[in-house]
Every structure is written in C-alpha cells, then in structure tokens.
Structure 1
C-alpha cells in the first residue's frame, strides 16, 4: 500500500520537479549573495527580498489591488472581443481575410511606443490600462479559438449536416466543443501576459499600482523593493494561471480524465 494516496502522488510528481528547480535557483542566488561580497544594493539576497515583502506588505498589497483590477478588467474585455471576432471570422471567411492582417499588424506595434500615446489620449485613469492589457492578450486568444474551430472533425460536421442541423447548430454542437482545449491553452498563455501588460501600462502613467511602485523603488535605488514587487506580480500571475487550470478541470472533466490515463 503506498504511503500517499494516488492523487497526492500525481500532484507530487507534477509539481516536484518545478519546486526542486526553483529551490535550486533560490539557493544558488542566496549562496552567491552571501559569499561573493556583492553589494545588497546591486543584488539583494532572496532572504532580504522576502523580508522586504513582509515589511512592506501593506504598501505592496495597496498597489497590487489596482494592478489586479486592471488585469482582470482588461482580460475580460480581451476575452469577450476574441470570442466575438473568432466566431465572426469563422462564419464569414471574407471577413477573416479582411481582419486577420489588421490583427497581426496590431501585434507588431511595440507597447513602449503605443502606451504613452494611449495615456495621452485617454488620461491616467483605468481606461488606458484596460486597453493595453486587452491589446496584449487579445491576439493569442483569437488565434487559439480560430485554430480550435478549424480542428473540428469533418465527419462529425458531415453527420450533423446529414441530419438536418443548421450551420449555427453545427457550430454549437461540434465546432465550439472542439475548440475548448485550444481555448484554455490560449487562456493560459494570455493570462500570463495580462499582468505584465497592466504593469507596463502603469509605467506609462498611473497614480498607483505595482508598475508605479517598481518605478519609484528603482528611482530610489532600492533593488530589494523592486524584486519584492516583482515577486508579488509573479505570485499574481501564478494564481491567475492556476485559476485557469482549475476552471478547465471544472469545464472539461472528461479532458482531465483522459489526461490521467496517459502513461
């Protein structure tokens, strides 16, 4: 009889290598900072960064909340737009040929150039942050959904058509379910970009947020506070990433069960 139940063993097997690799990096960093003689103002040790997180947890939390709000609102707008446009270009192929180049061109514009302009046009409020997060996360979601629709089994579509199903019903019963794995793959990719997009938007102009906190800490030559804010933003990203995986487990339990049977 195993010492741990099977779900615990699977969890340990899936997370163990990542925890070991992260722990090794942190240990090497701590050792180098302790014995190399490097100044803490150049490279603070992880223990010092963790201490700063605890000491300034109130200020970090106060700045993390606006960043998280902008992230979630921008990502929600991006998700809604990606769903609408992916369905439109799936139903109307000429529209796909007309719009897809525009979407691709939108991704070639560097954020460092467009962010100050958006802040100039729309001010220092929440709107420019939402727009920049949506701009960063929209295209991966659109591509993922479009590929998911295209991956539908043609035999299933032909069977439904032979039974008199309309194009809308074929989309609902065949194309939409086939796109779910692609949708969640794009969701996980996009959500990791969302926090970065929100922080970058705050760099361009904001009154509060992790981006402003990092900028102020950098200007005050406090790399420990910079890394403390980076740690908080990384934690937010990991929490959001884990949430998308949890949502996928709930929305697609059959997909998870199939994955469990793989060797």
Structure 2
C-alpha cells in the first residue's frame, strides 16, 4: 500500500468516510445545529472565524509544552533517583501510584485555593499528569537492562556511573520515549482542564464560552484542535525519538 509520510491511506479513508456519514445523517434527519452540527458547518465556522480562537491555541500550546517539559524533567529525575537508591524506591513507589489515583478534577479546586488563578496551578496540573508515565517507563527500562551485559560490566570493574551511563540508560531510551508519547497526548488535555479552572484565554476557555452560548460548532472546533495538537506533539516526540536513538546507536559503534 502506498503511504502518505508514515501514515497509511487507510486511517485517512476511514476518517473521510466518518465525516461523510456524519454529514449525511445530519442532513437526512435535519438535526439542529445546536445539537449536532454537520462537519461542513464546523469547518466553515473554523475557516471563517479562525481569528476568534487562534490566540487561544497559542496560549494552550505554550501551557501544554511548558507542563510537558517540566513533567518530563521531574519524571526523569524521580526515576533516576529511585533506580539508583533502591531503598528509596521501595519507600516511595506506592506514593507514585497513589498520586495517580486522585482525580485531577478533584485536586484542581485545592490548587486554586492554594495558588490562586494564575499560571502556577495550571502548570502543576499538567506536570502531575505528565510525570507519571515517564517515571514508570524509565524505571522499567532501567530494570530491564540485559542481565548478561550488566554482569559483564560488573566483572570488568565498571563503576556504578559507568554501568548506568553505558548500559542502563541507553536501554531505557525506547521506554522513555514511549512514556513521552503518552505524556505528550496527556499534556494538551491537562492544559485544557486547567484552563477550565479560570483563565483569560486558551482552548479550554474557548470551549467553555462556546458551550455556554450553545455554539456546538465551536465546541467541536475546540475538540478538533485538541486532537490535532495532541497528534502534532506525538509526532514531534516520534521524530525526536528516531533522531536520538539513531545518534545513540552511532555513538556505540
């Protein structure tokens, strides 16, 4: 099958078929626009009034990217420390699990009470969403380093730092990028949820205002933007993964 970049034609065909069926049903049953607008109406609104949401898109992108970067950094540090200090891992690992059992939507009001309606509580929400997949993926990558190679390095007199840098960390690169891909998709949704708490602009604000005004077409525009941004971040992480892993393999040769 011919491919469009790295994406086969099949998903594109399915997506087009989905929109065609949606358009047909909306027209056939004369569904009110406030209930379920047709795709053509949504796309027309997006292209006609794009200036209404472009500033919101930029704000959400900056917030999501900042939260992803901070969450990735914290996740990397936590995973590395817990791996290098096993007693600490045994003590703190359960709390990592617990941190993901508290719904963000429940924790969000507390963050507003503690830190106000500014940038900080929003950044904390995205960080909490993003750090966990990276931490768990890295810990699994460190632990699953080839035992034969680890044993060989120890027999050769390698230090703990050499063992970590030459074997365990390179082995953890693929899991690391898997965690980053998950976090990248979570970061956009985390940014939107954080904007619901109270913000001047952002896709979350645009979606809330559109919903209050029964502008369902604009709500769908916001949904499509969230999906597109998530896919773009995912694609950027994938591109970075190929570059870094290729560089790491060349460095080992």
User: Would you say same fold, with TM above 0.5?
Assistant: yes
In structure 2, the partner of 1:97 is 90
Listed one character per residue, the Cα deviations across residues 96-115 of structure 1 (whole Å, up to 9, x for unaligned) are 11111111111111111111
Q: How does 1:44-83 map to 2 (within 5 A)?
A: 44-83=37-76
In 2, are the aligned partners of 1:124 and 1:207 still within 8 Å (CA)? no
One of 185, 191, 194 as aligned partner of 1:192:
185
Q: Hey, what does 1:157 align to over in structure 2?
A: 150
Q: Deviations over 1:218-254 (max 9, x none)?
A: 0001100111111112111111111011101111138
Is 2:191 aligned against 1:232? no
Match of 1:252 in 2: 245
How far is 1:169 from its partner? 0.7
Unaligned residue ranges in structure 1 (runs of 5+):
1-7, 257-263
Structure 2 residues without counterparts, runs of 5 or longer = none
Aligned to 1:112: 105
Q: 1:116-135 counterparts in 2 under 5 A?
A: 116-135=109-128
Question: 1:261 maps to what in 2?
Answer: none
State how many pairs are aligned.
Answer: 249
CA–CA distance in structure 2, aligned partners of residues 235 and 153 of structure 1: 38
What secondary structure is seen at the aligned counterpart in 2 of 1:205?
coil
- Matched position secondary structure for 2:31: coil
Which of 75, 86, 104 is 2:79 aligned to? 86
Q: Say whether the 8 Å CA contact 1:116–1:205 is kept in structure 2.
A: no
- Secondary structure of the residue aligned to 2:158 is coil
Measured in 2, the distance between the counterparts of 1:13 and 1:175 equals 30
- Deviation, 1:122, is 1.1
Residue 13 of structure 1, CA deviation: 7.6
Partners in 2 of 1:11 and 1:174 — Cα distance? 36
Distance 1:99 1:10 in 2: 46
Match of 1:243 among 233, 236, 249: 236
Give the corresponding residue for 2:129.
136
What is the TM-score of this pair, normalised by structure 2? 0.94
| Shift >6 Å, 4+ stretches | none
d(CA) in 2 for partners of 1:13, 1:133: 29
